[in-house]
């Protein structure tokens, strides 16, 4: 993470500028299309991130959190409070520093700290070291976990020591219903919980009335899978990360969602399976032809969809596309919009005071395609 300047009174104008810039890009690339108005979903103006990481800098007998500015990784900025992060992280930061100052065992050769928290008050603090973590460290870390009321993870080269759990359990409210998520320390999760709730609610509402079965690529820990599963007969979801697959299975069981099957494979591999390029052992127990896929949901990494997956996506009547990178989204839409109309377009301000915007698009097959 890089340090950010949080100026709440400038938030509205900065978001307006980001949305207008995106609107101009869309008009420039799709002037021949009838585009819907952009729906916009704002973030809290401060204390919105549920996870954060810092370097720990040592200056004599003291240490403190430091960050860098984007593009300047030589200059250190001391961080004692961090309005980007949630209130819980801000409460834990000075308490952790005090505990480190009181324990040479915990402080020596620690160089980074990562916080993972929830809206319900759970926290995991990961401490990364340039030393082997022995029994004496574990005893000190156990006391630290007790004093702070958190789980502690110690990391060193080829070593991971867990005091408590290596995950938190978050609860997100989607259209009036609570969904419970295991979020693992090393797994990907949306950092802005309140905006995430808005994204999930939008996707669930936008998919209302789409019958049949859903194919989801890049399902992660089931973040979108859980609320979307309520809208379809069956869901087949893919994810390559073993950690995320395990969390997704846990979350399905936790939320009593029983119409979802998860396959551990990449989107590229699944695209090959859909095309019959080659068989996959991981699909041997899945009757693909029995699915009545009407809709596909994709939430790809920043690189967007590869060309082959784009062609697979275009084979579905309905497409729900969530993107963390408007540039690659636009690139993909140039192809997809030849066969599908853009029915809805939303932006979600996951990262206030930065140039980033998360987007959500609903596309429907053109009658002539």
Catalytic residue positions, numbered: 324, 358
SS3 8: helix
Helix, strand, coil distribution of the chain in percent, nearest 5: 35, 30, 35
Count of helices and strands (H, E) across the chain? 10, 17
Exposed e or buried b per residue across 340-357, where buried means at least 16 C-beta atoms within 10 angstroms of its C-beta: bbbebbbbbbbbbbeeeb
3-state SS class at 111: strand
Provide φ and ψ at 366, rounded to 5°. -70, 145
Separation between Cα atoms, residue 219 and residue 238, nearest integer Å: 6
Phi then psi for 247, rounded to 5 degrees?
-65, -40
| Backbone Cα Rg of the chain | 22
3-state secondary structure of 214: strand
Distance CA 201, CA 26 (A): 24
């Amino acid at each position: 993470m890089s340090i950010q300047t949080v100026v709440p009174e400038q938030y509205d104008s900065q978001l307006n500028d980001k949305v207008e810039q995106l609107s101009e890009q869309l008009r420039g690339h799709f002037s021949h299309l009838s585009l819907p108005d952009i729906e916009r979903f704002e973030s809290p103006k401060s204390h919105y991130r549920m996870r954060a990481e810092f370097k720990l800098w040592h200056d004599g007998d003291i240490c403190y959190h430091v960050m860098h500015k984007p593009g300047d990784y030589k200059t250190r900025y001391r961080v004692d409070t961090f309005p980007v992060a949630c209130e819980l992280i801000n409460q834990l930061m000075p308490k952790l520093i005090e505990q480190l100052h009181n324990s040479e065992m915990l402080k020596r050769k620690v160089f980074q700290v990562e916080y993972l928290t929830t809206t319900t008050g759970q926290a995991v603090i990961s401490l990364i070291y340039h030393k082997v973590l022995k029994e004496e460290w574990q005893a000190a870390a156990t006391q630290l976990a007790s004093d702070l009321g958190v789980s502690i993870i110690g990391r060193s080269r080829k070593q991971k020591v867990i005091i408590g759990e290596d995950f938190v359990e978050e609860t997100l409210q989607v259209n009036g219903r609570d969904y419970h998520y295991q979020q693992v320390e090393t797994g990907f999760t949306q950092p802005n919980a309140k905006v995430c709730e808005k994204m999930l609610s939008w996707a669930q509402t936008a998919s209302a009335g789409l019958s049949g079965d859903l194919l989801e690529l890049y399902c992660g820990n089931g973040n979108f899978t859980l609320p979307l599963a309520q809208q379809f007969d069956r869901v087949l979801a893919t994810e390559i990360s073993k950690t995320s697959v395990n969390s997704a299975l846990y979350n399905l069981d936790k939320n009593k969602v029983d119409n979802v099957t998860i396959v551990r494979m990449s989107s590229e591999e699944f695209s090959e399976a859909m095309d019959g390029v080659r068989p996959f052992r991981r699909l041997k127990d899945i009757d693909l032809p029995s699915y009545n896929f009407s809709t596909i949901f994709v939430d790809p990494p920043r690189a967007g969809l590869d060309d082959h997956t784009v062609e697979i996506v275009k084979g579905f009547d309905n497409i729900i596309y969530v993107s963390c990178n408007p540039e690659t989204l636009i690139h993909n839409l140039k192809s997809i919009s030849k066969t599908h109309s853009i029915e809805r377009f939303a932006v979600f301000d996951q990262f206030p005071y930065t140039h980033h915007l998360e987007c959500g698009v609903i596309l429907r097959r053109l009658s002539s395609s």
